[in-house]
Structure 1
Amino acid sequence: MQLAFDELGTPLRDVTFVVVDLETTGGAPSDAGITEIGAVKVRGGEVVGEFATLVDPGGPIPPQVVALTGITTAMVRAAPRLDRVLPAFLEFAAGAVLVAHNARFDTAFLRAACDTHGYPWPNPAVVCTLTLSRRVLGRHETRSHRLSALATLFGARTTPTHRALDDAKATVDVLHGLLERIGSLGVQSLEELLGYLPDVTPTQRRKRHLAAHLPGTPGVYLFRGPSDEVLYVGTASDLRRRVRQYFTASEGRGRMKEMVSVAERVEAVECAHSLEAGVRELRLLAAHRPAYNRRSRNPGKVWWVALTDEPFPRLSVVRRPRDGALGPFSSRNRATTVADTLAGLARLRTCTRRIPAAGSAEAPCVLAELGRCGAPCSGAQTTVDYAPSVRLVTGLVEGRDTTLLHRGHDQLGELAAAQHFERAARRRDELVALLRAVAKRHRLAALASVAELVGAAPDGAGGWEFAVVRHGRLASAGVARRGTPPLPVVDALVASAETVLPGTGPLRGANAEETALLWRWLTRPGVRLVRSSQPWAEPGHGAGPWRDWLGTADTATDLERTADALG
Structure 2
Amino acid sequence: MLDLPLATAEFVAVDTETNGLSGEKCELTEIGAVLVGGGELHEEWDSLVGVAQPLGRYIQRLTGISQDMVNAAPAPEDVLPRLATMLRGRVLVAHNSRFDVRVLRQAFARAALEWPDPPVICTVQMARRFAPLQERRGLATLARALGIEVDEVHRALPDARTCAQVFCALFGRLCANAPTIGDALTVLGAKKVRKRPASVPRRPRGERPHLAGLPHEPGVYVFRDADGRPLYVGKSVDLRVRARSHFTSGAAWTAQAEHVDHTVTESELGALLLEDRLIKALKPPGNVRGKGEPDGYVYIRCRLDIPFPILEVAREPAVGHAVCVGPVRGRAAAAELVEQLNSLFGLRHCGRSMPARAHPSAYGQMGRCLSPCLNDLDPNVYRERLDAALRLFVGRSGGEALLGRVDEQIREASAAQRYERAEWLSRRRSRLEALLARLGGVLRAIHTGARLVLAPHPSSAGRADAIWVAGGRVVDWGAVDGASLVERSARAFKAAPPVGRLGGWLSADAVSEARLVGAWVALNSPPMLELGPRVGGAQLSRFLGAHGVVLHRGEGERSFAPVAG
Q: Normalising by structure 2, what TM-score? A: 0.39
Which structure carries more relative contact order (alpha carbon 8 Å, separation 6+)? Answer: 2
